[in-house]
Structure 1
Amino acid sequence: MAWHAYDYLFALSMIFAFLDAYGIGANDVANSWATSVSSRSVTFKQAMLGAAICEFLGAVLVGARVTSTIKNGVIDLKSFNGDAGVTLLAFTCVIIGASAWMTVATRMAMPVSTTHTVVGSLIGVGIAVRGNGSGVKWGWNGVAQIFASWGIAPVVSGGFAAIIFLVTKFLVLRSKNPVQRGLILSPVYFFIVAAVLTTAIIVKGSPSLNLSELPTGTTIGAIFGTASVVSLLSILFWLPWVHCQVVRGDYTIRWYHIFLGPLLWRRQPPADAFTSEQTRAVRDYYEGHHDEDHVRTSMQALDDVERSENNSINEKQKYVADNFVEGQQPQPEPGKEATQQSAVPASPQRPFKSKLAALEAKLSRPANDTLPNGRPRPPDYKSFEGSWLEPWNLYTVLRYNALPWVWYTLTAGIRTDVHKMQMHGSSKEVTRLRGIHSHAAHYDNNAEHLYSFLQVMTACTASFAHGANDVSNAIGPLSVVYSIWSSAAFPGSKEPVPVWILAYGGAAIVIGLSTYGWKLMSVLGNRLTLHSPSRGFSMELGASCTVVIASYLGLPVSTTQSITGATIAVALCNGDWRSVNWKGFAWIFFVSHSIAD
């Protein structure tokens, strides 16, 4: 029976839990997929689709059906003295505190750890309950272990990522025939990747199935069996398919041709294969990072400045004509020509007919649908005279202003050009990023293509495990609040999680990723160091290895910190410390260690 005296607390928990999960999708999940998008292994839309499917299915199908009441043992339930009402209030505050920090951090494009965010909220509640720090477990079995992981996760992840990339670099990328060497070794790579990802699923990503409790022999058999099957499938289907692309240059082959398997060995390429850029079978993974691209970008910047200067007067005239109310234009001064009357009035009482029109006036209006910073161009809002409440203006507000604004808000995220955003900034900043990228080696583009599939495979599996496990950061406290509110009883150390709460959290993660995930991706990826499929694959696999080991040891590590350490290590494998954006990494390291007290 519901505890109706606290209906308002349950309602607040539902709202802020949604915001928390929304922030996880826009922040943590976007951070995880930033390497795949930045290396061009997948487009931004493909990443959104893959992450949405994997995160939601991971949360609903194999998400934790039982969650720990106090995550990571930060505080003791005895601190609440068996008072269910106080406990309900405390966990509502946990949800509000975590969601507030996640919202602020995401809005400011700060990649933070969602695990440490909820832990920080629990620390704050533990201090508030007793009025001092005695309610918090500061020892190794509590907060100290979490603090230790701040330094452990990046170092271990960086070590694994560096080893993986260096082996790939000297064994494949720098060999005399990197494409041939990569094709020969690809089944081995698929075997290793499948083994690591299967282990990650077992130890971290399937709490409801209790796979981590399987006997050791069964676990080892499942890992090697799955890896062997994946490796065999890669030989039968993936290898002939990708061979047509990288060796024969068959630009007519499509994704569904992979199901033809061995029949593709007899497929003949078109006569004009390898003859021009227009018939390229493999995309250029270093697009925008060649020397000639730098010159072209500089010339384009000069053209943009000239075009902006030429169009500025026309833009002002257009907005004056569209947005100023008739009768409020200033009268021309005596002796002035009529052509000078188009100047903006000095101080009209009400210059713009609507706030949306005033906001639109501040935005640039290029001819194409994408702004210079990579964001899609906002809709053309319509102006009107008088109050928006007037019946004859309601249609205009709804049809031409409100509905276009809603559509733009919901769809602009997936239409954002992330690569353009990552390289956008002042001329000084862009020059500095170009200099950082110039210290990173370019490898054979066809050889890089081989690792794009492994990177996508790693990203999807990690996303599935993330949805199954880390969704509890948002809905774990909510499940405790729901349990107390629905039963009016003090919670136990473990609380059941209804499926509808898992779906609620999973849906919020997907919405956050699709509408605001671009914000985090714009400050990651190529803004930190030059990305390519081989580099991104090494980063993601190194982070997955760290998660596997940490899960076995019971250490609460952060995905954000793991991928950050892996990115630094792989960047340093270029042999030049100048290939790393140290300023950007310092900022990420600072904010990712923030906790919401």
Structure 2
Amino acid sequence: MSAHDTNKDWPTLDKDLNRMSLLESASLYTARPLVGLGVSLVFIALMALLAGLVAGATPGTMIIVVAAAFGAYMALNIGANDVANNMGPAVGSNALSMAGAIAIAAICESAGALLAGGDVVSTISKGIIDPTSLDHGGLFVQAMLAALLSAALWVNLATWIGAPVSTTHAVVGGVMGAGIAAAGFATVNWPTMGAIAASWVISPVMGGVIAAGMLAFIKWRVMYVPDRIAAARVWVPVLIGLMSGAFATYLALKGLKKVMHIDMPMALLIGLGAAILIGLISVPLVRRQSEGLENRNASLKVLFRLPLVVSAALLSFAHGANDVANAVGPLAAIVDALQTGTEGASEVSIPLWVMVIGAVGISCGLILFGPRLIRMVGSQITKLNPMRAYCVALSAAVTVIIASWLGLPVSSTHIAVGGIFGVGFFREWYMARRARKLNKANGRKPLPVEERQRRKLVRRSHFLTIAAAWVVTVPASALLSAVCFYLISAMLG
């Protein structure tokens, strides 16, 4: 009997088997979030156990264990949310697969935190509240516990709704809210909070303008010239050199704090040397890579792919070195206060085991929950290719350098996402300008308003969601922190 006859004889069985296979697939799909949740709970429990073993039998051991659990929860959320900004453009432009991006980010984030992470951190998040107002009755420890928990809860919520937010701003809001709940509004350093609020606008606008400017330059000098490959051989090494110089300066400023102190002039000198050296090295490499390529824009993507991957890795390393300390700062402050009896010290050392919680937690959060936000940042805001994604990565490094030089508190999250918006809005403007010229030359009427709206290249729904999340991050985490402080105070008596 043939297979065809068998299928005719057993139609009901075939349908049932097909339904069962679909049911099995659906069950596996719905179980994936539960697996992530289970692994996360195991990780938090292990980090709490590690803290208990390190702390030993001291009076504050139980509080350190709870603080370590909160710190591990915060680190998981940083991995799920913050790292998407570094890897999203590379994945969205197809320069990296999702698995490759997660592997590179996990290694580079951990390396940045453990090798170059600052070993001293400001416990009151750069002067947000007056520590002397919290130096009695255990208020400081309770405030830091509330700040850590509230920041983690807010970032968790933002990740769930698909909004990349600044984890540093979440911690800032948490510290402010707990400080107000503990000692009133007078304890807050309002000029510092004003500068942080200004960075909500400065960071994304600066990142967007620089990314759009870089894309305009690439279009002008490389993409829309008669011989694109010849132009690429001239300008791609220059752009690689510029990227190398920017990242060398960025890493010298942000990633070498543990090794030595480097001021801005020295960092710029290091960057200039790296730009010249790597730019010259890349000339023969680009020439060899461009041999045999067709004279069209699609061929140019090949030349930007490797620089984009390297830039994503360097961004992750610098993020690990710079932002992990901010996230585990409240945990380090709690450990220092309980072990030394000095509450509200201006600066404290970060123990190695605290940095391990931060580094490993970020990697776990990225692996378990990062792909969703990486896809959103990389492909759902606007369409990216390697050239556009390269402009975003370069703008992130350049903007941080300019902000450091001007002394402005900026968010790497806001800069990276602002760069993506900048590239998207520039493309919208460029395409609209090109359409107007063509219509004028051919005597055609402009498209109707509805059609022009349909052809927008930046998704307005994501733009509004992300902008709203940025604006409410500090007040929302502050409000959450105040509630957490009252609950923690009531439990600790």
TM-score greater than 0.5 by the shorter chain: yes
- Contact persistence 1:204–1:551 (CA under 8 A): no
Q: How many residues align?
A: 396
- Quote the offset at 1:97 in angstroms: 1.1
Residue 77 of structure 2 contacts residue 156 of structure 2 at CA under 8 Å; is this kept in 1?
A: yes
What secondary structure sits across from 1:530 in the alignment? coil
User: 1:225: which partner in 2?
Assistant: 273
What residue in structure 2 maps to residue 146 of structure 1?
196
CA-to-aligned-CA distance 1:277-329 (integer Å, 9 cap, x gap): xxxxxxxxxxxxxxxxxxxxxxxxxxxxxxxxxxxxxxxxxxxxxxxxxxxxx
Among 132, 141, 146, the residue aligned to 1:88: 141
Structure 1 residue 451: deviation in Å? 1.4
Shift of 1:240: 5.1
CA offset at residue 98 of structure 1? 1.1
CA contact (8 A) 2:121 2:350 kept: yes
| Contact 1:63/1:469 (8 A) holds in 2 | yes
Q: Distance in 2 between matches of 1:580 and 1:104?
A: 24
- Which of 358, 364, 368 pairs up with 1:511? 364
Cα pair 2:116 2:259 within 8 Å, conserved: yes
Q: What is the CA distance between 1:15 and its match in structure 2?
A: 0.7
Which runs of structure 2 are paired with 1:456-467 in the superposition (5 Å)? 456-467=309-320
**Which of residues 119, 122, 127 is equivalent to 1:65?**
119
**Cα distance, 1:2 vs structure 2:** 6.6
Q: Does 1:212 align with 2:262?
A: yes
DSSP-derived class of the 1:67 partner:
strand
- SS where residue 520 of structure 1 aligns? helix
Aligned-partner Cα distance in 2 for 1:490–1:25:
29
Q: Any residues of structure 2 matched to 1:404-443 within 5 Å, and which?
A: none
Structure 1 counterpart of 2:178, from 125, 133, 136: 125
In the alignment, structure 1 segments of 5+ residues that lack a partner are: 249-442
Amino acid at match of 1:530: K
Query: Aligned partners of 1:445 and 1:57: how far apart in 2?
Result: 35
Report whether the alignment pairs 1:565 with 2:418: yes
Relative to structure 1, the CA distance from residue 172 to residue 144 in structure 2 (aligned partners, 3 Å threshold; closer, same or farther) is same
Task: Specify the alignment match of 2:485 in structure 1.
Answer: none
CA distance in structure 2 between the aligned counterparts of 1:227 and 1:145, rounded to whole angstroms: 32
1:203 maps to which of 253, 269, 294 = 253
Looking at structure 2, the residues matched to 3 and 118 of structure 1 have their Cα atoms a distance apart, in angstroms, of 30
Larger Rg over CA atoms: 1
Aligned to 1:242: 289
Quick check: 196-205 or 83-92, which moved more?
Answer: 83-92
Q: Name the residue aligned to 1:194.
A: 244
Greater CA deviation, 15-24 or 558-567?
A: 558-567
Contact 2:110 2:363 in 1 (8 A): yes
Deviation at 1:521, TM superposition (A): 2.0
Q: Which one scores higher on RCO, CA 8 angstroms, separation ≥ 6?
A: 1
Contact 1:84–1:491, Cα closer than 8 Å, also in 2: no
CA separation in 2, counterparts of 1:18 and 1:162? 37
Counterparts of 1:459 and 1:113, CA distance in 2: 18
1:242 CA displacement? 1.9
Q: Give 1:121 shift.
A: 0.1
How far residue 27 of structure 1 moved from its aligned partner, in angstroms, is 0.3
Instruction: Report the alpha carbon displacement of residue 473 of structure 1 after superposing the two structures with TM.
Output: 2.4
Return the match for 1:158 from 208, 217, 223.
208
Counterpart in the other structure of 1:265:
none
Corresponding position of 2:230: 180
Distance in 1, matches of 2:431 and 2:300, equals 22
Quote the residue 2:102 is aligned against: 48
Tell me, in whole angstroms, the C-alpha distance in 1 between the residues paired with 2:252 and 2:67.
Answer: 31
Task: Supply the distance in 1 between the matched residues of 2:393 and 2:286 (Cα, whole angstroms).
Answer: 22
Q: Report the TM-score, using the length of structure 1 for normalisation.
A: 0.63
Kept after mapping to 1: 8 A contact 2:286/2:303: no
Counterpart-to-counterpart distance in 1, 2:289 and 2:466? 37
Q: 2:186 aligns with which of 117, 134, 138?
A: 134
Tell me the equivalent position of 1:541: 394
CA distance in 1 between counterparts of 2:362 and 2:224 reads 40
Distance 2:413 2:263 in 1: 27
Identity percentage over the alignment? 31
Residues 573 and 143 (structure 1), Cα distance of their counterparts in 2 relative to 1, 3 Å cut: same
Q: What CA distance in whole angstroms lies between the structure 2 residues aligned with 1:199 and 1:475? A: 25
Note the C-alpha offset of 1:40.
Answer: 0.7
TM-score normalised by length of structure 2 = 0.76
Per the TM alignment, residue 114 of structure 1 is displaced from its structure 2 partner at its CA by 0.5
1:33, CA displacement in angstroms? 1.1
Cα deviations across residues 418-439 of structure 1 (Å, max 9, x unaligned)? Answer: xxxxxxxxxxxxxxxxxxxxxx
SS in 1 for 2:121: strand
Instruction: Return the offset for 1:558.
Output: 1.3
C-alpha distance in 2 between matches for 1:563 and 1:220:
22
Aligned position for 1:479: 332
Residue 498 of structure 1 is matched in structure 2 by: 351
**Greater share of helix residues, 1 or 2?**
2
Residue 129 of structure 2: SS of its match in structure 1? coil
Paired residue type of 2:210? F
Unpaired stretches in structure 2, ≥5 consecutive residues: 1-54, 433-455, 479-493
**Aligned-pair CA distance for 1:212:** 2.7
Aligned to 2:464: 586
Instruction: Answer yes or no: is 1:8 the counterpart of 2:62.
Output: yes
Superposed displacement of residue 175, structure 1: 1.5
